[in-house]
């Protein structure tokens, strides 16, 4: 008798929660102004054949996510990808040309338009990217048993709603998702406070595309490693002319700590090589070698001026990399994950260029050292000349660079499982 009483209370509780959710959804529809109806039938492009995955995007930085995820969904799952947005366009249509996806205007979150949209496209799965939740789309898709995923979630909120307090609505909407991928522990807490429950909520992190592994000549690497032996090395990559003096000064100061230290410097402009060589020779009594003259970094050479064609080689040889353009230049122009993926500890200035997000994450993980002046560069370089300290930074940088790829792998497998069941 006690057992059946527990079952009765459980289903009574579930029924009460479901009624509260339905009441909140109906209240939202009643109090939210409905969009003006379309004149005539809604025009749609023909539905692609085969499996179709819908990505509904509200995140303003979603393009980075799409570049990581969409090619994987297309290539590995053999699915067509439809991208839509029900919020104020977080990306332009020209961005979509970078990936093999189809962009269509999203339906307004009204029953008639959502039903017409889903009737036409019949998506096999819907991935909502970002925090804005379209209630009608989520509810209607869930009623049709379309697998729903919430990705890149931080603090979910209702689309086009001035506030999120509707009885049971947020909790009920979050329960409609098969999986919710939170960005971090703080986001996980926010989602749970909003009503996300159970194992469906996971703090995996940000999705990212795999950083390309730069090619290199293994025979040349072995030859150079034999010549360098245990000699300490640092790389100044993609240096602008305004930063040359700071790099030379940092190297001069570091030589007092590590007298065999080799600087490999790659100027951003190849035309700067003769002027850079002349600048170094005019200031310092150093041996300067040029890769263009096939000169090898023997013991008499303190600086090797190299070209950008062999970055894969330089990153592998150098345990320390300074990202040029970030100190006094126009901004960092090379992806910092290129060096991080090769096990090189990173230094950078206050001008991240297009890689502010990457450098911010590397800094938060203590995987990169930020400098503001030439003196800071010297101090950071001297600190990283300790092999143990450089190894700690390099290991942390590699972990950050590879983590986003692991998250993308997991999301792809989740979607594969979902559309395989459909």
Q: Does the pLDDT of residue 18 top 80, yes or no? A: no
Confidence band (pLDDT; 50, 70, 90) for 243? Answer: very high
Q: Does the pLDDT of residue 169 top 80, yes or no? A: no
Q: Does the pLDDT of residue 168 top 60, yes or no? A: yes
User: Which pTM value belongs to this model?
Assistant: 0.61
Q: Does the pLDDT of residue 263 top 50, yes or no? A: yes
Which pLDDT belongs to residue 111?
83
pLDDT, tens only, 327-364? 999 999 888 888 888 888 999 999 998 888 788 888 88
Which pLDDT belongs to residue 342?
85
Q: Does the pLDDT of residue 5 top 60, yes or no? A: no
pLDDT, tens only, 223-242? 999 999 889 999 999 999 99
Pick the residue with more confidence: 24 or 298? 298
pLDDT, tens only, 305-319? 998 888 999 999 999
Which pLDDT belongs to residue 14?
47
Mean pLDDT of 109-134: 89
Query: What is each CA distance from 119 to 47, 57, 219, in whole angstroms?
Result: 10, 20, 59
Give the CA angle between residues 349, 346, 374 to the nearest 5°. Answer: 35
Which pLDDT belongs to residue 134?
87
Which pLDDT belongs to residue 68?
75
Give the CA angle between residues 105, 108, 110 to the nearest 5°. Answer: 150
Indicate the average pLDDT of the chain.
82
Mean pLDDT of 204-217: 72
List Cβ neighbours of 344 (8 Å cut-off, separation of 6 or more): 235, 315, 318, 319, 320, 321, 394, 397
Which pLDDT belongs to residue 160?
59
C-alpha of 204 from chain center: 12
Q: Does the pLDDT of residue 280 top 80, yes or no? A: yes
pLDDT, tens only, 80-89? 999 887 654 5
Q: Which two tokens stand for residue 337?
A: 């994950």
Confidence band (pLDDT; 50, 70, 90) for 38? Answer: low
- Kind plus residue range of the DSSP H or E element containing 388: helix 387-421
Q: How far apart are CA 375 and CA 372, in angstroms?
A: 8
In the chain, how long is the greatest CA-to-CA distance? Answer: 96
Pick the residue with more confidence: 158 or 37? 158
Q: How far apart are CA 168 and CA 166, in angstroms?
A: 6
- Which residue, chain included where needed, has tokens 């509707």? 166
Query: What is each CA distance from 185 to 79, 155, 192, 203, 207, in whole angstroms?
Result: 32, 12, 11, 6, 15
Beta bridge partners of 164: none
């Amino acid at each position: 008798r006690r057992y059946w009483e527990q079952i009765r209370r459980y289903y009574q509780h579930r029924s009460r929660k479901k009624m509260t959710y339905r009441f909140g959804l109906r209240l939202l529809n009643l109090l939210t102004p409905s969009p003006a109806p379309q004149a005539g039938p809604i025009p749609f492009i023909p539905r692609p054949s085969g499996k179709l995955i819908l990505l509904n995007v509200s995140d303003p930085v979603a393009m980075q996510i799409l570049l990581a995820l969409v090619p994987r969904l297309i290539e590995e799952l053999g699915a067509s990808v439809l991208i839509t947005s029900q919020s104020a366009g977080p990306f332009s249509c020209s961005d979509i040309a970078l990936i093999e996806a189809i962009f269509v205007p999203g339906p307004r979150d009204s029953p008639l338009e959502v039903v017409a949209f889903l009737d036409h496209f019949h998506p096999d799965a819907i991935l909502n990217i970002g925090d804005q939740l379209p209630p009608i789309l989520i509810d209607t898709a869930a009623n049709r048993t379309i697998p729903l995923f919430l990705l890149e979630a931080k603090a979910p909120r209702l689309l086009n709603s001035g506030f999120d307090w509707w009885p049971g609505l947020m909790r009920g909407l979050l329960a409609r998702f098969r999986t919710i991928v939170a960005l971090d522990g703080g986001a996980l807490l926010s989602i749970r406070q909003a009503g996300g429950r159970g194992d469906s909520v996971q703090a995996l992190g940000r999705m990212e595309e795999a950083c390309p592994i730069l090619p290199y000549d293994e025979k040349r690497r072995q030859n150079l490693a034999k010549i360098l032996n245990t000699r300490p090395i640092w790389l100044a990559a993609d240096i602008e002319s305004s930063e040359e003096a700071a790099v030379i000064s940092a190297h001069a100061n570091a030589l007092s700590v590590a007298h065999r230290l080799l600087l490999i410097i790659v100027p951003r402009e190849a035309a700067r090589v003769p002027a850079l060589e002349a600048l170094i020779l005019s200031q310092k009594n150093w041996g300067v070698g040029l890769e263009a003259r096939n000169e090898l970094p023997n013991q008499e050479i303190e600086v090797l001026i190299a070209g950008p064609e062999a970055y894969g080689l330089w990153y592998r040889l150098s345990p320390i990399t300074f990202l040029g353009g970030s100190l006094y230049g126009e901004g960092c122009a090379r992806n910092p994950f290129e060096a991080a993926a090769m096990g090189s500890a990173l230094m950078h200035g206050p001008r991240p260029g297009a890689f502010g997000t990457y450098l911010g994450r590397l800094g938060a993980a203590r995987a990169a050292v930020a400098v503001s002046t030439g003196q800071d560069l010297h101090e950071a370089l001297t600190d990283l000349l300790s092999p143990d300290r450089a190894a700690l930074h390099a290991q942390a940088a590699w972990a950050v660079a590879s983590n986003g790829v692991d998250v993308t792998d997991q999301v792809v497998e989740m979607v594969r499982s979902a559309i395989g069941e459909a």
